[in-house]
Amino acid sequence: MRCQEGNSDKVYEVDLIETAAMSEEKYLVNFRYGRYGSTLREGSKTAMPVPFEQAEKIFDSVVISKHNKGYVSEDDSSGEPPRPSPTVSSAADHTDAPTAAYTDALLTRIKNEKHDPTRSRQIWRLSPAPHPEAAALITDFLQANNKHHDWRDSYSILWTLGRIGSSSDIKTVTSYLNDSNPVIASLALEVMLALTAPDQRQATYQAHCPSSVPLTPDTLQQHINAFCHEAAQQKRIGAPVTHPINAVLKEAYLQSWFNPEIKRTLLALLPDIPFSPGAFKGLRYLLKMSEFRLDREMQPLINIHLEASAPHFNRQWMYHYSGHGRLEVSKELASDNARLAHSQHTHRYFTARFSRTLKQLGIANSPLFTVMAEHTLLQYTDDHAKAPRTFNDCHYDRSWQRHLTRTRHYDGYAHCSALNTLLHTHAPHYRKNARGIWQYDPNETFTGRGEAFPHLWDNAPDALLRIACHTRCQPVADFSVRALRDNSMFCAGIPLDALITLLLKPYDSLQQFALQQLRRRGSDTPLPDHIICQLFLSPSDDVITFALAELDKIRDFSHSVPLLSTLLCLDHAALRAWLDTLSQRLAFTAINPAALLTATIRAITDQHATIDSGGGTHTETEIDIETETDTRTPRLSITLPSLADVQGEWLFQWIQSHCEKAISQLDVSSVEALIQHPSAVVRLLGCRLLDAMPISYSQITESTLQAIERSSSKAIQAFSLALLKKLAPEQLSEKVDYLIGLLPQCGPDKQAAILSVIATAISAHKPSRPLIFQHIVHQLHTRDLANSLQQLLLLFLSQHFDSALAGNKNNGLWQLATARSAMAQSLAADYLAADRLSAEQWFSLLSSPTLSLRKQARTYFSHQPDALLGQMDSILQVLESPWPDTQSYGFTFCREHLTKEDWQPDQIIAVCDSVVEPVQQYGRELIQTYFDADDGPQYMLQLSQHPAANVELFVSQLLPLYAAGDSDMIVALQPYFLSVLSRVNAGRVTKDRVIAFLQENADTSPQTLEMTCALLTRLSLTSVQKDKSAYLKLMLDLASRHDANQTELPIHITPRPTTSPRRMEE
């Protein structure tokens, strides 16, 4: 026997040899195995010679075992043939029926087998196809076994009889309906229904189950929904369910033999039923009986549901501890109200059993294999995938050094037993571990197919195509493509609609396969319109590029209005770019824009349309994406995706560009239907079209206006204002003032709408222009507007009032130049000229926060310096300007254009009095430059009031010159003296000068003496120690120079207290 799987090519030889040296006939069963063409290893299945019956049994067991593993006898056609080469494989290469030799070998073993359990296992392995001879044989065994009553053997025989028997065997089964073992009785009922004609099953069921209540889909759904709700609640609090559905599930599946509605309901609800206490026994019944029936719908569904569920508990010991306390596992599982469901062992058993069922169907070359495998693979989705995992196995040596022994890799589907069994049985980089989890080697490269029983798949390419079209699982999609590529003859005949379905799948392998098939069929003739439309629904950029190339083949668009209207509704950037250049194509000139626009609006409103090769379009009530079969013209009902914001904006611009004249021909009701559409993007498109139509306001229905006003979209709400432009000019002019006042309270959409209405009012009603201009300028001048609104208003002014700005009508430029808005000031700078403002206004602009205005003001005064000389009383504003450029200009102008005659003492003093240091310095410079002795007292008296230390220092220089001997001046300078002498650790030079001045001039008059003494007394109490000594010294000097009896000075000298000897000691 030989086995070829992937890169593996193995040989297994087994011999039944008679030992001639023995006195009695004895036999050996020897075997040899190894790689094909290499030296084979030898061994023996018998340690010593055995009788023929025993040796034959061992020999048959080895042969069947190897056949089950994929070995094929090279001298006959039994078993599984070698894996076909990757070329076209015809159906004639392999037979769909179970091999006769396989069945005959099993029957021979069954006849000769004396050990009942072994024979039962052989009977179980019989292929599930009607076989009268085999049925008659096992019926005899069943009757004989009834005497011994080994229920396991009876179970196996009943199971197989239900698969291979006929209605003539029902009588044999009837005796088991009342068997004391409920497992045998349940199976007997299933077998009887299976052998009964379909039209008699309901009567048979009611005859043997008279107490059962017929279920309806509604009652079944109520039972299951109530249980699922209770199970979820009880799980949270750790309590058992009070209304199990085990019996309901069993009855439902039994009644599904004759009630398809019950079965559909059960299939729909099954994924929601948890494998938990109260439901597991019923689900276990479904697991076994769906296998017995080979139910292509139920068996894959429930087994994959189990596969994706976690075991209810881990069974390792006799007892299990849970929220219910200590539970004896065996006793609990046997209870009708079990609080345990299934353990990890049961979970692995059932998942492995389903994989074994699929494998046995394949070994028998049963046509049911591809049917069952197809339904199984279609149950898997991308949601079944988990995060890939990697584990490192290590060991420690005697020095406790850690060493890596191997690395195990598991992909996202490693836990999916059936999936891996079907897809990776012959893949050398995949293997199953002891727990049934599949691991793979990422470092091993494998380019073959790797699935189980590839020859059976090659005989069923239509099943592969169905899998490819309906799968929602990446590995399944990749498998279907690999298998289909080996059948090029079938691929050449795949219908276009099926290829389109593959292109719409989210899997690159399917997209590239379908695209390759389309390209092989390529010609100069473009694909049908409905095919091209579907191509643009693909998520693949390669497919979109191919679709655009097909569009370029179209030479005449005169019959392609449905195609173009559909393409306009599809959201893809590359398609939009192609449509933008459509007007440049000669083929587009034959298109009727009005028909195209009408068809587009109808398609958007209905969200789907039917396209046929004749160019017609038919609205449909059902939304689907499938091609209707028509012997005359291919028709497609295609659901249009919802318009995205970008698509809606682009579509309106495209309509304006290519169908501008057709907008005026639109029916108002069709556009209003867009405004009533549930999609906000479609409603916005309808509002834009309605706004672009040349209709009056009265033609818009009240319901449409209400729909616009009540919309949650601010962009749509804005059209309640934008549509006012359709009012009569006189009516519109009455609303202008209100609309302008409304601008600051609105959002951007409504602001743009209001300005569009105002623009219409300007052009429709000329007398309103001055008032509108004045109102907008007033808004910018007096209100602190948002930047976005400022930009809108200024752009509006420059577009619609250019001449008014240039002529400074109503002093508008000055209002803009002094507005709160910096942007308005910049706009005013663009229009200002020397003759637009007065000298006083130009002088104000020297301090403008806008640089361009300040530049223009400096330019004005540079050309007309006399105008600035007329503003000498306010020149200090320029020198103290917060803007360095204006301040620098002021200093330069004063130095270059002003002389002594232009400066008045009070102006110079005002400059010196400035709190700005550069201005103070310039003021001192002016005094030194233009100082006049006659003005000295005025300078000294006014500058003495300045708080700056450097100014006080400057005044101290003037004291001996203009205050010495002047009693009134000295008394007037008292605040100055106090300010200088009160400074802490500052102004030492100024202090010394003032103290020296007071020492010389304090006794100029009684008033000066009194003022000086009061000042010194106050300072002596508040000054720091260093300054206080100078003040006290001056006070003592004044006291010594005047007789206290003649002059009462407010000076009191307290003697320093004498320190006691004790205090000194301390």
Task: Tell me the residue length of the chain.
Answer: 1066
**Whole-number average pLDDT of the chain:** 82
C-alpha 156/C-alpha 490 separation (Å) is 41
Q: Report DSSP state, residue 506.
A: S
790-844: pLDDT as tens digits: 888 888 888 888 887 777 666 778 888 888 878 888 888 888 877 778 888 888 8
Cβ-based neighbour number of residue 852 at 10 Å:
17
pLDDT at site 588: 64
Give the H or E element holding residue 972. helix 967-972
Which tokens is 759 given? 């623009």
Q: In the chain, what are the domain boundaries?
A: 217-314+328-366, 932-1066
Sign of CA dihedral 117, 123, 128, 130: negative
Task: Check pLDDT > 70 for residue 22.
Answer: no
Give the H or E element holding residue 13. strand 8-18
Coil, strand or helix at 984: coil
- If we measure between CA atoms, which residue out of 18, 31, 27 comes closest to residue 65? 31
71-122: pLDDT as tens digits: 877 544 333 333 333 333 333 333 334 456 777 888 888 888 878 788 888 8
Which tokens is 257 given? 């033999």
Phi, psi of 713, deg, nearest 5: -85, 125
| Nearby residues of 840 by Cβ (< 8 Å), 6 or more positions away | 871
- If we measure between CA atoms, which residue out of 562, 613, 452 comes closest to residue 83? 452
- DSSP line for 183-211: HHHHHHHHHHHHHS-GGGHHHHHHHH-TT
341-360: pLDDT as tens digits: 878 888 899 999 999 999 98
Axis crossing angle, helix 822-831 with helix 787-800, rounded to the nearest 10: 20
Angle at 923 between CA 917 and CA 927, to 5 degrees: 145
C-alpha 755/C-alpha 721 separation (Å) is 10
Task: Check pLDDT > 90 for residue 1066.
Answer: no
- If we measure between CA atoms, which residue out of 580, 522, 566 comes closest to residue 546? 522
pLDDT at site 832: 81
Look at 780 and 195; give whichever has higher pLDDT: 195
551-565: pLDDT as tens digits: 888 877 777 788 888
Percent of the chain, pLDDT > 90?
22
C-alpha 862/C-alpha 847 separation (Å) is 16
Answer yes or no: are the C-beta atoms of 1 and 11 closer than 8 Å. yes
**pTM attached to this predicted model:** 0.64
Give the H or E element holding residue 392. strand 389-396
863-893: pLDDT as tens digits: 888 888 787 778 888 888 888 998 888 888 8
Answer yes or no: are the C-beta atoms of 320 and 340 closer than 8 Å. yes
258-278: pLDDT as tens digits: 999 999 999 999 999 999 888
Answer yes or no: are the C-beta atoms of 756 and 715 closer than 8 Å. no
508-526: pLDDT as tens digits: 999 999 999 988 887 777 8
Task: Check pLDDT > 80 for residue 1025.
Answer: no
Phi, psi of 617, deg, nearest 5: -130, 140
| Nearby residues of 592 by Cβ (< 8 Å), 6 or more positions away | 561
